[in-house]
Structures are given as C-alpha cells and as structure tokens.
Structure 1
C-alpha cells in the first residue's frame, strides 16, 4: 500500500527539484562573465538539485515514510539555501552591484518565491500541518496566478520587439492575470465567509479557462522557439519551463475541483488538513 505522505512528498520533490535546477541555469546565464563566484554557486546548486531529482526517482510510493521524512528534511535545507542565494542576488541587483547583468529583479524575486513555496511545502508535509482545503484553494491560486502573470511579463520582454503580435498577446495575458490575482486576493480578504462551494467552484472555473489559454500560448511559443520560427532571446528550456508550470497549475485546479465535487465545504473544515491525494 502506498502512503499518501510518500506520494505527495515525491510528487512535490520531483517537480520542484527540476524547477530549482533550471533556475540555477537561468540565473547563471544572466550573470556577467566576471561574476565567477556567483556562476560557481549557481553551478553548485544545479548539481545539488540534479542529484535530488535523480534520487527522488530512485524512491517509490512504497518507500518507508521515515526514509522520505529524512529526505524531505535534506531537500528542505537545499531549498532554503537556494532561496537565500536568490535573495542575495536580488539584493546585489537592486543595489546596482551587478551592472550589465541580464537577470530582471522581478525574475529573481519570482524564482525566490518559488523556492520559498517549495521549502514551505516540505516543512508542512514533515510536520503534518498542511493548510485546510478551503484555505489551500485560495492560497494556491493566489500563488500561481502571480506566477502566471510574471511569466507573461517575462515573455513580452524577452521576445524581440519586432514580434509585435506576440508581444501584444503577452501583455494582454499579463493584464488578465493581474486582474485574476486581484480577484483572488479579494476572495482571500473575505475569508471565511467567501469559502463556500459555489464561490470557490466559480473561482476555479474562471481561473482554469485563463490558465488553459495561457498554457496553450506557451506551448505554441515553445514550439516556435524550438523551430527557430520567431525572434527572441528566450532559451528553449525556459519556454518549456514556464509551460510545465502552467500545466502544474492546471493539475492543482483539477485536484481542488475534484474535492469540491465530492465534499461539502460549507461545513467548518478549518481543522481538516490539506490531505488531497494526488
């Protein structure tokens, strides 16, 4: 029998360790040639998370939960260190210590938020303190809607300005997801009264439509970039990276919708842990 804690832990680590590994590469590519220390640190983090990713696939759903608990702790430490590295780099950029580097401050903040999300999830899993479902639905959407809005902004700035139609599409997505994010924050501020089945269901339905549209746009952009059919400075791996994060968001929305369809969220479930099975 598989243990839900093991299944959930491995799912999170397999997805996010790859993301952290790729963040290391993207940051490295944005450093200047003379930033040798930062480049070395990025390389080290790439190796660390590549090793974590490989090890996560060596475990199975039947692995002893105690083993996974220890693994989670080790990965938590790695995630904390890369989060600190990202915040250090952000501080250097904002204090103009890396003039000429090509990492946008918002991009560095973006990847640090994802590292913080990852380490927070690992801590919650190990301590058994996952959020109640009704809180998690709103929190996860607030987090990922901001991620999607950021992606749209990055794409519009990394496309060649002559790709006017794609740039305009990216800007439209940025505006759309900023609006969805504000709506999600409004719903959050109205808790717990806003946590009814109909409101949360409509919230997820509306977000899914927009995320699917952005996901499809990213998929098309990825294919065009890989075929060298558009002008941009977007790394092909970055195009695939943002596509996978949109897929992840859709997976989470679907997971929450399955819960809403089979449970009554009108009851007081604030003491129920976020224990949806993957």
Structure 2
C-alpha cells in the first residue's frame, strides 16, 4: 500500500506539473505586451512547475512515504497558488480590465479547474481519503468529459474559419461531449441507486468510444499543425497538450474498467 501511495503520487505530479507549466506558458502568450506584472507571474509559475517536474523524477516508487507526503504538500501549495492566479486573471477579464487579451475566459476557467483538481487530488492522497470506486468513476468522468468538451470548443475557435471541415468536426465533438456531460451528471444525481456494475460498465464503454475518437482527431490536428498543413492560431504545444489529456482520460477509463471487472 505504501508503494501504491508513492506510485500514485508520482504519477499525478509528473503528469499535472507539466500541464501546469504549459498553462503558464499559454496564459503568458495570451497577455498583452503591457501586462508586464502578469507576464512576470506567469513566468514564475512556469519555472516553479518546471522545477517540480524535474524534481519528481528524482523520486522512485521505493521513496519513503513520509518524504512523498512532504513533497505532495509542497506541490499542493504550488497548485493552490496557480489556481488563485488563474482565478485572478479570470476576474480581470470578466470585469473588462484586460481588453484585447487573447485568453478566452472559458480557457482560463478550464485551466483553473484542472489546477483545483490537481491540488485536491494531492490532498486526498496525503489524507488517504480516496473515493470509493463507484463514486470515483462518476466524479472523474464528469470532470474529464467537461474538459474534453472544452477542448473541442477551443479547437473550433482557434482554427482558421476557412478550415470549414475541421471546424465543423470540432463543433460536432463539442456537442457530443456536452451531451455526455449531461448524461454523466444525470447518473451522478441518481446515486447511489445508479452505482451498479452493469450501468457503470456501460457508462465507461460509451465514454471510451467517444474519447478515443476525439483523441484521434486531436492527434490528426496536432500532426497537421506541426507540419504546417492547416491554418490556425493553435500553438503546436497546445495541440500536443490537449492530446495528452485525452490519452490520460483513456488511461483512467481503462483503470476503472479493470477494477470493475474484479467486482463482477
């Protein structure tokens, strides 16, 4: 169990610290040139999470659990800091104090939700209060399905309007994932009666098909952007960023399905 705690902690930190680092870059690129204080703060968070990411690779699954807990707490404080930074930016945008910024309010909110997820995940690990399997399945899917829906919307808005076919595909994915979010929330509202193995199994199967399809679309878009074969204002790193998050979701679905099989 102690090895599992350390392994889970390292997996979360290695994945999400890179995501937080990249969020800092994307936010910085969206600021106006006169937003020097915000640019400086974004750069500080970039360096902070780059350091965390690098340090995480000095740990192994045999690391002392107490040492891991201390590192988790340190990273959780960093995640709380970038969460507060993102919410500050969102407030500035929504009160029209950053006119001309290229950061969509939904994108800033999206990145803050991921930071909050990361910090809460580390708290749960340190306190040993991981959710029961059925609760975790529904909650994780509600969170990640919304993330996938957001990604489809961002892609649709950042592609050049002349890329009509790709824009239409992104909009269709956005609609499909909005529907999946509603379905997941319906299942959540029916708890605990909805937490049967057959229902959860079908729920995961359906989501996997849709996420795999979106993942493949993201991979195609990423490759085309890297090869300069389509017109967009999507940074190549952002294209890879959203692809990796879809891969992460598929990994989580597979993990849940494997655990469900033991309950049949």
Q: Same fold (TM over 0.5)?
A: yes
TM bucket normalised to smaller: over 0.9
Structure 2 matches for 1:141-160, cutoff 5 A? Answer: 141-160=141-160
Aligned length: 264
Question: What's the TM-score once normalised by structure 1's chain length?
Answer: 0.94
Match of 1:5 in 2: 5
In structure 2, how many angstroms separate the alpha carbons of the residues matched to 1:133 and 1:88?
34
1:221 CA displacement: 0.2
Structure 2 matches for 1:158-237, cutoff 5 A? Answer: 158-237=158-237
Match of 2:261 in 1: 261
1:89 CA displacement: 0.1
In structure 2, how many angstroms separate the alpha carbons of the residues matched to 1:107 and 1:231?
21
In the alignment, structure 2 segments of 5+ residues that lack a partner are: none
Structure 2 matches for 1:237-252, cutoff 5 A? Answer: 237-252=237-252
Q: 1 or 2 for the larger relative contact order (CA 8 Å, sep ≥6)?
A: 1
1:263 CA displacement: 1.6
Instruction: Determine helix, strand or coil for the equivalent of 1:34.
Output: coil
Structure 2 matches for 1:35-50, cutoff 5 A? Answer: 35-50=35-50
Deviations 1:195-251 (Å, cap 9, x if unpaired)? Answer: 000000000000000000000000000000000000000000000000000000000
1:4 CA displacement: 0.5
Question: What's the TM-score once normalised by structure 2's chain length?
Answer: 0.99
Instruction: Determine helix, strand or coil for the equivalent of 1:228.
Output: coil
In structure 1, how many angstroms separate the alpha carbons of the residues matched to 2:152 and 2:181?
13
In structure 1, how many angstroms separate the alpha carbons of the residues matched to 2:138 and 2:173?
21
Match of 1:270 in 2: none
In angstroms, what is the RMSD of aligned CA positions? Answer: 0.8
1:49 CA displacement: 0.1
In the alignment, structure 1 segments of 5+ residues that lack a partner are: 265-278
In structure 2, how many angstroms separate the alpha carbons of the residues matched to 1:73 and 1:167?
42
Instruction: Determine helix, strand or coil for the equivalent of 2:176.
Output: helix
- 2:66 aligned with 1:30, yes or no? no
1:2 CA displacement: 6.8
- Would the aligned equivalents of 2:2 and 2:65 in 1 still touch at CA under 8 Å? no
Match of 2:69 in 1: 69
In structure 1, how many angstroms separate the alpha carbons of the residues matched to 2:184 and 2:65?
35
**Which of structure 1's runs of 4+ aligned residues deviate more than 2 A?**
none
1:130 CA displacement: 1.0
